[in-house]
A and B are shown apart, each in its own frame.
Chain A
Amino acid sequence: MPDYQTRLILGVLIPLISFVILALFGPKLGKPKASWVALLAIGLSCLLSTSVLIGWVGKSVPEREALTAAAQNNQYHWSDLGSISLDVGVKLDSLTVIMFFMVTFIAFWIHFFSIGYMAGHSDEVDGTSKYHRFFAYLSLFCFSMLGLVVSSSLLFLFFFWELVGLCSYLLIGFYFDKKYASNAAMKAFITNRVGDLGFIVGLMMVAAFLGTLDLEQAAKNFAAQYAGVTGPNQINIFAADFKLFGFQISGMAVATLMGIGLFCGAMGKSAQFPLHVWLPDAMAGPTPVSALIHAATMVAAGVYLVARIFRLLTPDAQFFIAVIGCITLTITALIAIVQTDIKKVLAYSTLSQLGYMIFGMGVGAWVAALFHLMTHAFFKAMLFLGSGQVIEGCHHEQDMRKMGGLRKKMPVTCWTFFLGVLAIAGFGWPWAIGHTKLGLGGYFSKDEILAVAYDRTFNMGGEHAAADAHTSRSGDWRIANSERDARIDFASLDTDSTFSILNSTFVASADAPPHAEAGGQDAHGGDHATGTKEKLAIASTLRRLPKWMFYLPIIIAYVTPFYMMRAWWMTFCGKPRDHHVYDHAHESKMMFIPLVVLAGGTIFCSYWLFRPMIHDAAKVATNAPAVVAIDGEAHSIDEAADRVMMTLDHHAAVPAHDWLKYYVGFSWLIGMGLAWMIYRNGLETAARIKRAPLFSAAHAALERKLFFDDIYDSVLVGGTVVIAWLSKNFDKYFVDGLVNGAGYATRVAALFSGRWLDMKVRPNDLGLLDWVYNGFIGAGAMNVATAIRRPQNGRIRSYIVFAAGSAAVVLFVILFRDQISSSWQWLTAGLRATAATP
């Protein structure tokens, strides 16, 4: 068995091979066979990743660290950029392993589903089948996403990042003969470009200041520069002092800008607030694509990127990220309430959940955000596949107002969808039964993010600390830190999650002793402890989160169950509203197997597999001085008070989870219950509420997606149109005016001179002038023109041939100058000799 690194690389390359095969021989393989190639490829990748995962889980922590270090040192040197070495390598750690597994596993089942889905879809444009193309794109997507996950260098991450964007474009525009699909594809691509601009700026700043593009090395250099050590090829970013547009920019601000720049890429790909507009439109693609790319994997790439650059962020950059995430999760959840298209509801709920993840990253909940990413990937893929099943079964009807009562026609879809609704709603029992907690993955992960937000809002920092942080924003942040004691009890920070892998039920047991992990995780070892101390010192100077940043996610935790329950009820329950749709509805077997598998994953995988893996990765990935990383320690009800992350000494220790259950413990029940009350008798109640004065205005605004598209349309598209109009008229009246004016002036002058000649010269004309003009110059010009007219045949290609041929002749003459001159001499000498002989 090859080592992990090789297996991961193979796992990345196999889908690429499948893509090449499908691209070259796809049309020959034809309709069912092309899909088998793609399915086989991703299946092999999935097997490889599973084997890696199994091996990795069996390793102890020191062994894992050794493997990570070995992979880090075993990189292929690709090229040099000045003094910066560009290396290709595999970033081998728990996060990579679990992400790789998640992507391949979900992708495999979505490929499987796609075969069933595409079987019932017309895939012809102008008589040519696009069937193989669909699977070729899927394979290419898997290749690029997996490459993104394993990349050890920011540069290669960026390459794969762009490839992923390309695949997204190709797949959104798969029905490119439909106007809306090609428009949506362009919108997605262009919106992503806006974000990528920031990403490139961030990359350049990393290269310029940190002197490397390797993730690990960049983080190390950043930490060293923060401590005041600047290596060769580096510029200390914290000592940077710029003047930009007359503003003095301090080093801390430059470091913040670098982090924000990198985050801009994530804003594009994960569709965060100003750039979120593309994701709902991306639902124009085939439904399996929506499930794979726009719910489970690609959009998560942004969160993954933030997780990887986490150590390059400053507190201000983190705060920015948190604000963006908070805004996104709020507005998109509100818009989701009024959507009537089943896929649009899911799209907006995806946006909202991505907002939660980004918000989690921003408040420092590294573990929780990635945990949420994993659980969300499973249940959102399942929800999307369920919606695909519905759309397929209902003869391409996506409007939920025409559905209803489908429960009897498609029971498996109905109940797996309901499981997804429960998971996203955060179904769980907030009080422990004995020592165990009941809940689906979404419950634990979302709760953990909120718990950290709670800590950041109420437990951490302090009045004077907040004031300090406020004054230190201008750059004295470091000094403020170094003078501050870590007045925080951090002994409990690294307590392990300790959820034994053996607890392979969705009942996560919390009764294991906190430090008794069989793997012997070395939580307090070596430099990590000092890192933690510094980290906490910084954390204490951070300003608290403003209260709205805690309350908004809490409120949205009630909105999420509402709109998901609304979608489920409108689709599957109540009376059928459109008998044409209802009569047609059916369930396809090929398509419900993946649903059941993913439902299993939703229930079982989250707590015993995802969280320990991410928690394990967090030890290294968040060990940096300049960031705040807080481990939420979800639902460790025993010794709750000991597990409070960061509590100032003068504050009473308030265990976040104890409070949180009063805030959101039953949000799933309340939200879903409200939806049930409104929608149980069909749509009349909702329509009545909509007519109420305050609600009607809100509904109108939400239906217009809070005017984002309108604003972008009028400002960006309208602005472009205005500029185009201006330049068109400039061309038409000014440039053309010059040209036409010159022509007109010539004509006037000719007329004038003709008159003058007529009057002055003609009377004395001897005929000579006319003879010279007509006979000599005229005929000569005619002959010359006829001669050079022939090549002027107006065909671009012949011009090119002439140009290229002439260039070749000139080149020949220049190159063989000597030979030509010598042969000329030889020729003339010969001629002279011939002439000399009588």
Chain B
Amino acid sequence: MVGLTHYLVLSGAIFSLGVLTMCIKRNAIGILIGVELVLNAASINFIAFSKYQSGVLTGHIFAVFVILLAAAEAAIAIAIFMNYYTNVQTIDVDRGDTLRG
């Protein structure tokens, strides 16, 4: 029987993979994918907790917000990548270190 733990383990795994993706990918799109993984892991957590706490829909609503946020974030992120590309002719994020101290 699938219980809360299974969901949490799944979400933890996805979260870790997402963070790992963000850390090791040089491609901006790859990083965006990592962000999405992290967000989805969070959503799974919300839903899982909400499911095992009967009568509460807060988690569900949060998950919907997360989806909304992810969509908005993807739109903005890709716009940023486009601008980034026009400036440095690549989407390798390591090349964009003009903000270094």
Contacts and interface: CB of A to CB of B under 8 A. Distances in A.
A797 B101 contact: no
A792 B23 contact: no
A800 B31 CA distance: 10
Nearest to B95: A795
Contact of A795 (B22, B25, B97): B97
Contact of B100 (A792, A797, A801): A792
A804 B23 contact: yes
A794 B23 contact: no
Contacts of B93: 795-797
Contacts, number: 39
By secondary structure, the A interface counts as helix
A788 interface: yes
B78 to A, nearest CB: 14
A577 to B, nearest CB: 45
A801 B97 contact: no
Contact of B26 (A785, A790, A797, A801): A797
B101 A800 contact: no
B101 A792 contact: yes
Contacts of A785: 101
B22 to A, nearest CB: 5
Contacts of B19: 800, 804
A412 B19 CA distance: 60
Nearest to B98: A794
B1 interface: no
B23 A800 contact: yes
B23 A797 contact: yes
A140 to B, nearest CB: 21
A794 B97 contact: yes
Interface residues of B, number: 15
Interface in A777-824: 785, 788-790, 792-797, 800-801, 804
A750 to B, nearest CB: 23
Contacts of B94: 795, 797
A790 B101 CA distance: 7
Given A800-B19, A804-B19, A794 B99 contact: yes
B97 A797 contact: no
A662 B23 CA distance: 75
B87 to A, nearest CB: 14
B75 interface: no
Contact of A793 (B22, B25, B26, B100): B100
A95 B29 CA distance: 44
A54 to B, nearest CB: 41
B72 interface: no
A796 B94 CA distance: 7
Interface string A511-545: 00000000000000000000000000000000000
Nearest to A80: B51
Contacts of B100: 792-795
Given A788-B101, A795-B100, A804-B19, 6 more contacts: A793-B97, A794-B98, A794-B101, A796-B93, A797-B94, A800-B23
3 closest pairs, A vs B, by CB?
A794-B100, A794-B97, A792-B101
20 contacts: A785-B101, A789-B101, A792-B99, A792-B100, A792-B101, A793-B97, A793-B101, A794-B96, A794-B98, A794-B101, A796-B31, A796-B93, A797-B23, A797-B31, A797-B94, A800-B19, A800-B22, A800-B31, A801-B23, A804-B23
